Chain A
Amino acid sequence: DVKVTQSSRYLVKRTGEKVFLECVQDMDHENMFWYRQDPGLGLRLIYFSYDVKMKEKGDIPEGYSVSREKKERFSLILESASTNQTSMYLCASRKQGGMNTGELFFGEGSRLTVL
Chain B
Amino acid sequence: GDSVTQMEGPVTLSEEAFLTINCTYTATGYPSLFWYVQYPGEGLQLLLKATKADDKGSNKGFEATYRKETTSFHLEKGSVQVSDSAVYFCALRGTGGFKTIFGAGTRLFVKA
Residues of A that sit less than 8 Å from B by CB: 4, 31, 33, 35, 40-43, 45, 48, 50, 58, 90, 92, 101-104, 106-109
Contacts and interface: CB of A to CB of B under 8 A. Distances in A.
Nearest to B49: A101
Contacts of A58: 99
A45 B89 CA distance: 15
A31 to B, nearest CB: 8
B43 A45 contact: no
Contacts of A101: 32, 49, 51
Categorize the interface residue count of chain B: 20 to 34
B43 A107 contact: yes
Contacts of B32: 101-102
B100 A90 contact: no
Contact of B46 (A43, A50, A103): A103
Contacts of B89: 42-43
Contacts, number: 48
Interface of B: 4, 32, 34, 36, 41-46, 49, 51, 89, 93, 98-100, 102-105
B104 A41 contact: yes
Nearest to A9: B41
Contact of B100 (A40, A41, A50, A104): A104
A69 B102 CA distance: 28
A42 B44 contact: no
Given A40-B104, A42-B102, A42-B104, 5 more contacts: A42-B4, A42-B105, A50-B98, A102-B32, A108-B42
Contacts of A41: 104
A48 B102 CA distance: 15
A4 B103 contact: no
A102 B104 contact: no
A45 B97 CA distance: 14
A90 B41 CA distance: 12
A42 B46 CA distance: 15
A102 B71 CA distance: 20
